[in-house]
Amino acid sequence: MLYDVIIIGAGVSGSAIARELSRYEANVCVLEKCEDVCEGTSKANSAIVHAGFDAPAGSLMAKLNVRGNEMMDDLCRDLDIPFKRNGSMVVCIHKEALPGLQDLYDRGIKNGVKDMKILSREEALEMEPNLSDNVEGALYAPTGGIICPFKLCIAMAENANVNGVDFRFNTKVEDIKKGEDGMWHIRTNNGEYVSRYVVNAAGVYSGVIHNMVSEDDDKIEIIPRRGDYCLLDKEVGTHVSHTIFPQPTNLGKGVLVSPTVHGNLIVGPTAIDIDDKEGTNTTAEGINDLIAKANDHVKNLPMRKVITSFAGLRAHEARHEFIIGEVKGAKHFIDCAAIESPGLTSSPAIGEMVGNMLKDMMGLTPKANWISTRKDVMNPENLSIEERNELIKKNPAYGNIICRCESISEGEILDAIHRPLGARSLDGVKRRTRAGMGRCQAGFCSPKTMEIIHRELGLEYEEITKSGGRSNIVIERTKNQKGGEQ
Amino acid sequence: MMNYDIVIVGGGPAGLAAAVAARNAGVDKILILERDKELGGILNQCIHNGFGLHTFKEELTGPEYAYRFIEKVLDAKIEYKLNTMVMDISEDRVVTAMSREDGMYQIKAGAVILAMGCRERPRGALNIPGFRPAGIFSAGTAQRLVNIEGYMPGREVVILGSGDIGLIMARRMTLEGAKVKVVAELMPYSGGLKRNIVQCLDDFGIPLKLSHTVVDIEGKEKVTAVTIAEVDGKGKPIPGTEERYTCDTLLLSCGLIPENELSRNAGVEMSPITSGPIVNESLETNIPGVFACGNVLHVHDLVDYVSEEADRAGQNAAKFVKGQLSDAKSDVEIIATEGARYTVPSTINIDRMDDKLTVRFRVGAVYKDSFVSVYFDDERVMHNKKRIMAPGEMEQVILLKDKLAEKPGLKKITVKIEQE
């Protein structure tokens, strides 16, 4: 099939662009090397909606950050996903660094960030009693927020899919050539795809993809900048109520401490440049480093309550600026590369920008029946007993709790599996429902979730994976069972 | 709202024994709520033998041991509901539960017995560095996959932690044809029972490396290798001692945590040492009429002791609903110190105590040829020599009501370990 647009990468940028393009009459396809959306940088980050005072004034990064932040309320309402403007605080702990807060404030004003305020030590402590005793002042930005990155990415992709965008998973781009027919020919492990336009939203691989088509003097190198994180139990999720940042350095925004939109506490990230684009391993040094740094700004951090640690890779490029636009000498090939923080915040604006760009270039016309909203996997937690009973009467699966830590029922898991772009692995179920994301980290629910996946998708147990590829959970029958079958 | 005299949360060994004891004490309306599809709890996946030596003077498998109690529950026609999750317990003993069949409903309970058991400490809580591929399991999850579902997680195994489930799984995986390459234990002593080390590791030639931990996990999709290293006295890995094992499975047996979400939400006061409720001689929590027993109270090594403790909780809950448990304060404190980490119970009311009260505790390190001493206020009343004591094996002292009654005004009982 000939596509009008092929998007490479089903992370938060690719999914946002796919959703924007789904407004128009066009054949659009997303190619993703993993088995699900949201498998790269989009799945392992701070889950923050940044206010927008960090990025250099006048940069594309600043513009898209502030625009993305503005768009988030409506988008999250339309897509039925949680979003909270809990407010950000940049905390100063050295008197001599106080002018830095003013610099950030001024930059924020230039970038168009609203309602910021510089707080005295007393004001800061009043708002956030667990700040370090050394706090000298803080920049407060009430427009800062927290979001679920999985849900944002999944919801945008799902909505795009409902509106006609194809998704091809386990499809890795190996080479791209401009054919004599003037089309882009994309070779993958799953055959060739042909398209009039291509969007490169390949995250840490966006340099590799760019370099397949760019001229010799226009090569870019994406450096995976690893960040380690710790996630803490919900029991201590209110240790701080705002997102607490240190003052930024040239390596980034530093180690933050923040509640998550689901009620945990997140601490991280570190920043280490590495070579391996799949190098999402945590290290002891990294975790120790982030604990030490977080303690500089927040006191009595309950690090004994860690339920998991993980690492994510930022798609860093030396210029520290989003690279969005048509690649020189590669007509109809659009880069959306070097999307590092604040990429998550910017994603709706990136989608809008690239969507508008392609609309104008291609002369796209709006679809008559575009569906702008979707419903998330229903969370029965806030229902009254009567409402819950009604629900269980209609669908008894909602009465069967599978994940005890997060109280996730079979009904929610079935919904996650059977909806558009549904879950096919344990991680797929986890990111759509939170089953397995609690304090026992799937020890209890994984055999039960496997049973559901086996039943609903007709996969043998040996075929069920943690997250696609060769991440199989079990390898074979036990001796006894094998014997029984002979 | 339904009404029951006693609602028991959990149908494992603790819940079953508590129910039987309460029925034997004459309580009529008892309800057991169990979240799994059958009674018996974790015993159902413990298909090895070694259960019941104390209780039945014979060696049973886990399911056999459970069935001895299930039979009693069935004979006594005690009501139970399966596939039922308790969602909430309130301070005034209203239990909210949910199932496919019954929807969500509430029960007013005369007394509540907490018997939810415990869960395993996951990889995340251990801060083990490395990748996060498939192939990392808590030992109990692997046990369920192998013994209940009938599937093997892998062929080459490294185990971190020498808790009993890890030791049992080392043998189980070996019998199923897997190669268990090493068991690494962070502490300088094992967390499991001596007999399990002998029968599950030594008999199969599986090395146990004490004072070792996992410092790296390799494999982006499935585990491909695990590196362990020796640790110093503070538990920090010593550079240069790394040993790399290729494997496809890492099992974790690094401690069990009582499962007290419901208790905490109900306002039950918790011990930071056991992570279980603080209870008095009647195994009653700070909320009158709410009792606790089994692994939700403190983690046990032997199910026999769980049954015995649950029996007492059941009897006391029965007394409570019949108005026979005085509401006098439990005013004698039991203090664990100098080697003893905690005691269960931690307070005593002499009037309410049975003639004989078993106080269970654990030591914090390995002690050889040392004494378990009990002091009534400042007077030493017990001084028992033990050849060896280890954190993996629960200890006990027995207090006699007569002896306590001889000490009017007694304020505190101290349990400690003494060298002489």
Closest CA to B165 of B396, B392, B395: B392
**Given an 8 Å threshold on Cβ–Cβ distance, is B120 in contact with A475?**
no
Tokens representing B84 are 């039922």
**pLDDT tens, residue by residue, A416-431:** 999 999 999 999 999 9
**pLDDT tens, residue by residue, B297-344:** 999 999 999 999 999 999 999 999 999 998 777 789 999 999 999 999
Q: Determine the average pLDDT of the residues in A399-422.
A: 96
What lies within 8 Å, CB to CB, of A300 at 6+ separation is A130, A239
- The pLDDT score that the predictor gives to residue B212 is 98
**pLDDT tens, residue by residue, B167-203:** 999 999 999 999 999 999 999 999 888 999 999 999 9
**Given an 8 Å threshold on Cβ–Cβ distance, is A471 in contact with B133?**
yes
**Given an 8 Å threshold on Cβ–Cβ distance, is B100 in contact with A287?**
no
- One-letter amino acid at A115 equals D
Among A50, A239, A242, A332, which one carries the catalytic annotation? A50
- The pLDDT score that the predictor gives to residue B356 is 95
Q: Is the pLDDT of residue A283 over 70?
A: yes
Mean pLDDT of chain B: 96
- The pLDDT score that the predictor gives to residue A484 is 52
What lies within 8 Å, CB to CB, of B46 at 6+ separation is B61, B62, B63, B143, B147, B168
Do A269 and A290 touch, CB atoms closer than 8 A? Answer: yes
Task: Say which DSSP state B201 is in.
Answer: I
Locate tokens 């149908």: which residue? B11
Q: Determine the average pLDDT of the residues in A94-110.
A: 96
What lies within 8 Å, CB to CB, of B197 at 6+ separation is B162, B167, B190, B208
Q: Judged by CB atoms within 8 Å, which residues 122-181 of B form the interface with A?
A: 122-125, 127, 129-134, 137-138, 140-141, 144-146, 148-155, 176-177
Residue of B nearest to A404 (CA): B85
Mutation target for B interface from A404, A455, A479: give the one with most B CBs within 10 A. A404
Closest CA to A206 of A359, A340, A49: A340
Q: Which of A224-238, A265-279, B120-134, B209-223 has the lowest mean pLDDT?
A: B120-134
User: Cα dist. B152→B148, B157, B183 in Å?
Assistant: 11, 11, 18
Chain A residues touching residue B149 (CB < 8 angstroms): 447, 450-451, 461, 474
- One-letter amino acid at B313 equals A
- The pLDDT score that the predictor gives to residue A486 is 41
Do B370 and B418 touch, CB atoms closer than 8 A? Answer: yes
**Given an 8 Å threshold on Cβ–Cβ distance, is A441 in contact with B123?**
yes
User: How many Å apart are CA B408 and CA B104, to the nearest integer?
Assistant: 50
Is residue B223 classed exposed, middle or buried when 0-12, 13-18 and 19+ CB atoms within 10 A define those classes?
A: buried
Mean pLDDT of chain A: 96
Q: Is the pLDDT of residue A237 over 50?
A: yes
Closest CA to B161 of B181, B141, B139: B139
CA angle B9, B10, B15 (to 5 degrees): 95
Tokens representing A412 are 């929610």
Q: What is the pTM of this model?
A: 0.95
- The pLDDT score that the predictor gives to residue B122 is 86
- The pLDDT score that the predictor gives to residue B125 is 81
Closest chain A C-alpha to B408 CA, distance in angstroms: 42
Closest CA to A79 of A32, A24, A22: A22
Closest chain B C-alpha to A175 CA, distance in angstroms: 24
User: Cα dist. B92→A36, A108, B29, B83, B267 in Å?
Assistant: 46, 52, 18, 25, 10
| Confidence grade of residue A1 (pLDDT, cut at 50, 70, 90) | confident
Q: Is the pLDDT of residue A251 over 80?
A: no
| Confidence grade of residue A259 (pLDDT, cut at 50, 70, 90) | very high
Tokens representing A147 are 């979001």
User: How many Å apart are CA B186 and CA B170, to the nearest integer?
Assistant: 17
Distance of CA A446 to the CA centre of its chain: 23
Residue of A nearest to B97 (CA): A399
**pLDDT tens, residue by residue, B16-52:** 999 999 999 999 999 999 999 999 999 999 999 999 9
Q: Dihedral through CA B343, CA B348, CA B354, CA B356, nearest 10?
A: 50
Closest chain B C-alpha to A473 CA, distance in angstroms: 6
Task: Indicate if A50 belongs to the active site.
Answer: yes
| 3-class SS of residue B18 | helix
Closest chain A C-alpha to B401 CA, distance in angstroms: 40
Q: Dihedral through CA A180, CA A186, CA A187, CA A190, nearest 10?
A: -130
**pLDDT tens, residue by residue, B251-293:** 999 999 999 999 999 999 999 999 999 999 999 999 999 999 9
| Confidence grade of residue A201 (pLDDT, cut at 50, 70, 90) | very high
**pLDDT tens, residue by residue, B335-369:** 999 999 999 999 999 989 999 999 999 999 999 99
**Given an 8 Å threshold on Cβ–Cβ distance, is A439 in contact with B141?**
no
Chain B residues touching residue A397 (CB < 8 angstroms): 100
- The pLDDT score that the predictor gives to residue A478 is 94
Q: Determine the average pLDDT of the residues in A73-88.
A: 98
- The pLDDT score that the predictor gives to residue A180 is 96
**pLDDT tens, residue by residue, A31-65:** 999 999 999 999 999 999 999 999 999 999 999 99
Q: Is the pLDDT of residue A222 over 60?
A: yes
B368-372's contacts with Cβ under 8 Å and 24+ in sequence apart are B370/B339, B370/B417, B370/B418, B370/B419, B371/B417, B371/B418, B371/B419, B371/B420, B372/B340, B372/B397, B372/B415, B372/B417
- The pLDDT score that the predictor gives to residue A39 is 97
Chain A residues touching residue B237 (CB < 8 angstroms): 284
Q: Determine the average pLDDT of the residues in A117-139.
A: 97
